A and B are shown apart, each in its own frame.
Chain A
Amino acid sequence: MRFAPPNPLRIADRASGLNALSVRSYNERLVLSLLLQNEGISRMEIGEKTGLSAQTASVIVRSLEQEGLVSQGEAQRGRVGPPTIPLSLNPEGAYAVGVGFSRRRIDIALIDFIGTVRFHTQLPADEANPFPQSSDLFGAIGQAMTSLPVEARSRVAGIGLAVPDDVDTMAATRNGSSTSLKALQAEIEEQIKLPVFVQNDITAAAGGESMFGVAKPLNDYLFFYLGARLQSRLILNHQIYKGNSSASFDHGLMRLESELAMRGRPSEIIWSSSPEWPDLGEAYSAWLGECSDRLKASISALTQFVEFRTVVLSSYAPQKIAEALCDDIGREFPGIEALPARVTISPKAVGAASLPFSSRFMIQ
């Protein structure tokens, strides 16, 4: 027996708040990821799923509880077997800010640890200059942070940016703007003093849906994002794949806009985050039909190569559009379940905000 004094630090003391970018142990990440996927599982189930001993799980859970990342529920006493104490992620345990860049607007969202949007605002953008004035952006991020009570602000884990691939070239060719993504990232890190994570916008939206939405339990699915354009990602075994070509289908809301313009109707509403659109008449039904055909064609083409049973359709546009398109897909492909995404308030910004969480708390 070695009579060495124990390690002088409590495990929970090591991290000393969220802002110390300490390396979180693999086992802690494993437990947090499990709790994200399975709300309310017990310590025993954690042990069963991870192979950790009850005592090791106990030490990890205790430390996560002390950090405020995990909370215990009331004992569940079933009719058979011993009672279980459910564990969950504490929604107030961590927050993150996400910025989603789109052609017409920039969404800024603050989410809690289980993905609930606690604050959301928008800035206008145009294609010529996809980046807003940095002062506006800092203002909006600051607004998101100050929407939290003072004592919770230190729990913001970081900032994520969801950016279209062509944003740099777009900015440079259209107006010679020197604002590059890297510069913007560095500036935010400097100003806000939080780590900044960057990802492609559609990939981020798919990642957000995998972390917090209907895709949580899914290993494989096909993800569509209906924004200005219609874009897709294939998720196989939790990995998000992006096609090699930069092609995205011109059947998104831009197409609806031109259908409306052709008929001399106003189209501002479709770029807003209004939960309902007024009756847009013939233009709408014509566009919806085309969009549905495009989706079905893509799904049909892909099923020749890959097996997947679920399609997830994400959009900030009113939920009934996604529902109508999913119904269409379901009718066409009886073996495939089509689900409207759960994240409806700015999926890109929520996906962006999930980046600090996955980088700092989860297994990759």
Chain B
Amino acid sequence: MRSVLCYGDSNTHGQIPGRGPLERYGPGERWPGILRSQLGPDWYVIEEGLSGRTTVHDDPIEGAHKNGRTYLRPCLQSHATLDLVIIMLGTNDLKIRFNKPPSEVAMGIGCLVYDIKELAPGPGGSTPEIMIVAPPPMQDDVKEWKSIFAGAPEKSRLLALEFEVLADSLELHFFDAGSVVSCSKADGFHIDAEAHRLLGTALARAVDAIGWSRST
């Protein structure tokens, strides 16, 4: 059986758009669940979605545990052996408190990739396949998050290109979530159940397209 780790933020956690942080779509509805059902019994799908997770920043307000980099190593080691790591992060880095351009967010992703390669949690101590997923662009209207995400919607539209540049340069698999889904109008930066279904289905296809040998 192969293992895939889905490492992300609230949109991997399955937070329902426009609702509180404790309200979450069911295991079969969020995209890792869709991925699980699409990939079938040959795959073990591990969900690691934390609301507010950034690529490499301790969040001064929400807490140091939102730092995607410090949690990644223990997480990888806990779930090893991993055949594939899917990373969908970046939206939270656009909060005004971090004051980062899109290119720097991509470099944050680059740090995570570096850590994965260094830890090599793949089969036989190899580097697992790594897929970078660019989060879907935010809506212009992010409701009561307007001040927190000041300037973020515009930056969010540039993430896909920056992430793809990074994926080309580090030779990684890449998928642009914005090519299949958009963020819900309810809060402007979370994806709804239908989007989870579409994203999970598209990612299953992208995982298949990597090509896996018959033996596991």
Q: Contacts A56-B171, A59-B167, A62-B174 known; A44 to B130 CB distance under 8 Å?
A: no
Residues of A within 8 A of B111 (CB): 1
A 74-108 binary contact with B (CB < 8 Å = 1; else 0): 01000011111100000000000000000000000
Known contacts A6-B110, A54-B129, A55-B130, A11 near B168 by CB under 8 Å: yes
Q: CB distance A44 to B171 under 8 Å?
A: no
Contact A54:B168 (CB < 8 A) given known A6-B110, A82-B42: no
CA distance A62 to B114 in the complex (A): 22
CA distance A257 to B166 in the complex (A): 66
Residue of B nearest to A57 (CB): B211
Q: Which of B42, B172, B208, B211 meets A45, CB within 8 Å?
A: B211
The 9 closest A-B pairs by CB, nearest first: A44-B211, A6-B169, A81-B214, A85-B209, A43-B211, A82-B212, A11-B168, A55-B171, A7-B169
Report how far A175 CA is from B152 CA in the complex, Å: 75
Tell me whether A10 is interfacial, beta carbon within 8 Å: yes
Complex partner residue of B209 from A9, A59, A72, A81, CB under 8 angstroms: A72
CA distance A80 to B166 in the complex (A): 35
Are A82 and B208 in contact, with the CB atoms below 8 A? yes
Query: B192 on the interface (CB 8 Å rule)?
Result: no
A11–B130 CA distance with the chains assembled, in angstroms: 18
Contact A1 B114 (CB under 8 A): yes
> Please, which residue of chain A has its CB at the minimum distance from the CB of B164?
A10
- Report if A44-B210 is in contact (Cβ < 8 Å); known contacts: A5-B107, A6-B110, A85-B205: yes
Q: Are B165 and A75 in contact (CB under 8 A)?
A: no
Closest Cβ of chain B to A9, distance in Å, is 7
A47 closest partner in B (C-beta)? B211
CB–CB A83/B208 < 8 A = yes
Asked whether, in the complex, the Cβ of B211 is within 8 Å of the Cβ of A84, the reply is yes
Assembly CA distance A290 to B130 (angstroms): 65
Kindly list chain A residues whose C-beta atoms are within 8 Å of the C-beta of B103. Answer: 5
Interface contact B210-A58, CB-CB below 8 Å: yes
Select which of B42, B130, B161, B208 is within 8 A of A85 by beta carbon: B208
- Determine if B165 and A9 form an interchain contact, defined as CB atoms under 8 angstroms apart: yes
Q: Can you give 10 A-B contacts (C-beta < 8 A)?
A: A1-B114, A6-B165, A43-B211, A54-B173, A59-B172, A59-B174, A62-B168, A82-B42, A85-B205, A85-B211
Question: Is B170 an interface position by the 8 A CB rule?
Answer: yes
Q: Of B42, B114, B208, which one neighbours A84 at CB under 8 angstroms?
A: B208
With a 10 A CB-CB cut-off, give which of B42, B106, B161, B208 has the most chain A CB atoms.
B208
Binding site for A on B (CB under 8 A): 42, 103, 106-107, 110-111, 114, 129-130, 161, 164-174, 205, 208-214
**New A-B contacts (7) at CB < 8 Å, excluding given A47-B211, A59-B172, A59-B174:** A5-B107, A7-B168, A42-B209, A53-B171, A54-B129, A55-B130, A58-B210
In the assembled complex, the Cα of A3 lies from the Cα of B211 at a distance in Å of 31
Residue contact A82 to B214, C-beta cutoff 8 Å: yes
Report the tally of A-B residue pairs with Cβ distances under 8 A: 77
Q: Taking A5-B103, A9-B165 as contacts, is the C-beta distance between A59 and B211 under 8 angstroms?
A: no
A9 surroundings in chain B (CB, below 8 A): 165
CA of A11 to CA of B174, assembled, Å: 13
Q: Which of B42, B161, B172, B212 has the most CB of A within 10 A?
A: B212
Distance (whole angstroms) from the CB of B210 to the closest CB of chain A: 5
Q: Are A10 and B165 in contact (CB-based, < 8 A)?
A: yes
Is the beta-carbon distance between B106 and A58 smaller than 8 angstroms?
no
**Most chain A CB within a 10 A radius of its CB, from B129, B209, B214:** B209
Interchain CB contact under 8 A, A6 and B205: no
| Nearest chain A residue, comparing its CB with the CB of B214 | A81
Q: Which residue of B lies closest to A86 (CB)?
A: B209
What distance in Å separates the Cβ of A117 from its nearest Cβ neighbour in chain B?
32
* A47 surroundings in chain B (CB, below 8 A): 211
A83 to B170: give the CA distance in the assembly, Å. 26
In the bound complex, residues from chain B placing their C-beta under 8 Å from that of A82 are 42, 208, 212, 214
CB distance from B48 to the nearest CB of A (A): 21
Given contacts A1-B114, A85-B205, contact A10 B214 (CB under 8 A): no
Q: Is A55 in contact with B172, judged by CB distance below 8 angstroms? A: yes
Tell me if A8 counts as interface (CB < 8 A to partner B): yes
Check: A346 CB closer than 8 A to any chain B CB: no
A71 interface residue (CB < 8 Å to B): no
Task: Say whether B165 contacts A7, CB under 8 Å.
Answer: yes
Interchain nearest-CB distance for B70 vs A (Å): 16
Cβ 8 A contact of A75, one of B42, B110, B173, B205: B205
Inter-chain contact A75/B208, CB cutoff 8 Å: yes
A84 to B161, CA, bound (A): 27
Are B211 and A42 closer than 8 Å at their CB atoms?
yes
Query: Bound state CA distance, A312 and B211, in angstroms?
Result: 36
Measured in the bound complex, the distance between the Cα atoms of B167 and A10 in whole Å is: 9
Residue A354 interfacial (CB < 8 Å): no
B residues less than 8 Å from A6 (CB atoms) = 106-107, 110, 165-166, 168-170
Contact between chains at A63 and B208 (CB < 8 Å): no
Instruction: Give the Cβ gap from B205 to chain A, nearest Cβ, in Å.
Output: 6
- Residues of B near A55 (CB, < 8 A) are 129-130, 171-173
